[in-house]
Structure 1
Amino acid sequence: MLIDAHIHLEQYQEKEIPALLEEVEQVIAVSMNLASCEKTLMLSKTYAKVKAAFGFHPEQALPSNIEVEALFDWISHHADEMVAVGEVGLPYYLKQDKSIDYHPYMALLERFIVLAKELEKPIVLHAVYEDAALACDLLEKHQVTKAHFHWFKGDEEVIQRMIDKGYFISVTPDCTYEMEIQQLIKKYPLELIMVETDGPWPFEGPFDNKRTSSRMMNHSIEVIASIKGLSTQEAAKMIIQNTKSFYNL
């Protein structure tokens, strides 16, 4: 029974959730915006296995100033009911499609990092490739060490920088067919790795046309174990412990 370290549980149909949760020990349910935070909180109150994280997903238009203040006020009010600030980060994929001003996104991310430090909570980051270096700059500026880069991709320099700082990553089922992720697993210390689905995001390869579920993480564990030269049981045990320790579960 693994722990799904990153899932958008509120995006599944309500009738799907009980069966999804049967497959795991616990899930870290991240949020997209204020409405998503509210729904995630409700799910955490309904299901003991659901641990909530509150934030604003960066791959969307920025909220207005009024919406930002409402979100931060809400998160602060419900701080005791969450295990982390997240998902937050920078809009790497959004900027591939259109020209956007990065400064407001950077400012918002910095504010979330400051909030995580004030609340003494871990932070869940969407920051890949060159954006990961920018996120590291802000984490280091504010001396935030408990950072989880989900579905991470990056170059050798930023990978080593993150390892040196003790930042965690989580691996999705795409590790079964993506050489880039397999190389990342080879380089990254097992004690800093978790597994996730990012569900309901769909996957390819052996998961093509299948509804994303947490049982897919079993395949991720097999890949990680093979790369690290361990049994699946050994790899699973360590990854579960990593996740529990990081999120204080």
Structure 2
Amino acid sequence: MKNSLGGARSLIDAHIHLDKYARSEQRRIMSEMECAGIESLITVSYDLVSAKENLKLHREHNNIKAAFGFHPEQQVLNDEAMQELIAFIELHNQEMIAIGEVGLPYYTRKENPFLNIEPYMEILEQFIILAKRYKKPIVLHAIYEDAGVVCNLLEKHAIKYAHFHWFKGDILTIERMIRNGYFISITPDVLYEQEIQHLVNQYPLSQMMVETDGPWTFTGPFEGKMTHPQMIHQSIEAIASIKALEIADVYRQLLRNTKQFYQI
């Protein structure tokens, strides 16, 4: 895909659940990637079954990069299941691009305020230790007050390569994350959500990526549409507008950020 200046408008979807799409949707996305200017997809895992499927997708398509983890917005893993997932990660550590998606169950806790958070904390710390052991980035589900708690754990283990996907939080946490060099990624709701627009304005472009979190669906101009990585082009236009930057420069910076962060 070419911009009006003749430069390539290439991007990487830094956070997608490709395994959660129907097979026909997966085929459509992968067949349209080159035409849509999408260099790679970083597909994160929900659990062990998800990790196995994402590994298969990576082996079939080199531009699909797989991260392995346990999404926290579900019932906590028991010790046996956690050890099985750890064993899978250890076995396939050279094929994974990152640990993720991992974090804390913010939305689940909103529905159940009496949920015991400690088992989730223990699991998250184990994933942080694995990320450090294998020198891999960690992809985090940590928003609002959870983000500060996660920052504490990251600082405890001196983790530098942390990616807070679809982040939302207060200004003090934002400033802390910026100081620590942590990255965020912006979703297509930047076109219509003021909170995300404010975040884009506050966070440095040099610590930013873009994502869809597909197959999660969006509203606004994307109402009723299957979430496709090509939506990110509109996200990048919005980011450039908010930051009053040349769109070609924003494309180059975001692509460079993602490649350097994930060593692609």
The TM-score bracket by the shorter chain reads: over 0.9
Offset of residue 234 of structure 1: 1.1
> Aligned letter for 1:177?
Y
Q: 1:191 and 2:206 equivalent?
A: yes
Which one of 124, 133, 144 corresponds to residue 159 of structure 2? 144
Q: Which residue number corresponds to residue 176 of structure 1?
A: 191
Residue number among 207, 231, 238 corresponding to 2:222 in the alignment? 207
Q: State the Cα distance separating 1:79 from its structure 2 match.
A: 0.1
CA distance in 1, matches of 2:221, 2:111: 28
1:76 partner SS: helix
Query: Equivalents in 2 of 1:200, 1:83: separation in Å?
Result: 20
- Report how far residue 7 of structure 1 moved: 0.1
Root-mean-square deviation (Å): 0.7
For residue 229 of structure 1, report the CA deviation from its aligned partner.
1.4
Aligned to 2:71: 57
The total of aligned residue pairs comes to 249
* Structure 2: distance between partners of 1:111 and 1:64: 13
**Residue number in structure 2 paired with 1:164:** 179
The equivalences for 1:119-138 within 5 A come to 119-138=134-153
TM-score, scaled relative to structure 1: 0.99
More helix by share: 1
- The alignment status of 1:11 with 2:20, answered yes or no, reads yes
1:242 Cα deviation after fit: 0.3
Q: Which residue number corresponds to residue 80 of structure 1? A: 94
Describe the superposition over 1:182-212 as per-residue Cα deviations: whole angstroms up to 9, x where unpaired.
0000000000000000000000111111110
Distance 2:111 2:89 in 1: 30
Alpha-carbon separation, structure 2, partners of 1:16 and 1:205: 21
Q: Percent identity?
A: 51
Shift of 1:149: 0.2
TM-score (norm 2): 0.93
Over residues 29-53 of structure 1, what are the superposed CA-to-partner deviations in whole Å (9 max), with x where a residue is unaligned?
0000000000000000011110000
* Code of the aligned partner of 1:37: A
Structure 1 residue 227 displacement after superposition: 1.3
Quote the residue 1:47 is aligned against. Answer: 61
Distance in 2 (alpha carbons) for counterparts of 1:185 and 1:166: 16
Q: Separation in 1 of the partners of 2:21 and 2:159? A: 32
* Matched AA of 2:227: T
The whole-number CA distance in structure 2 between the counterparts of 1:107 and 1:221 is 36
Tell me the alpha carbon deviations over residues 165-185 of structure 1, each in whole angstroms, 9 at most, x when there is no partner. 000000000000000000000
Partner of 1:245: 260
Following superposition, the deviation at residue 243 of structure 1 comes to 0.2
- In structure 2, the partner of 1:95 is 109
Query: Aligned AA for 1:26?
Result: S
Gap regions ≥5 residues in structure 2 = 1-9
Q: State the distance in 2 between where 1:19 and 1:226 align.
A: 30
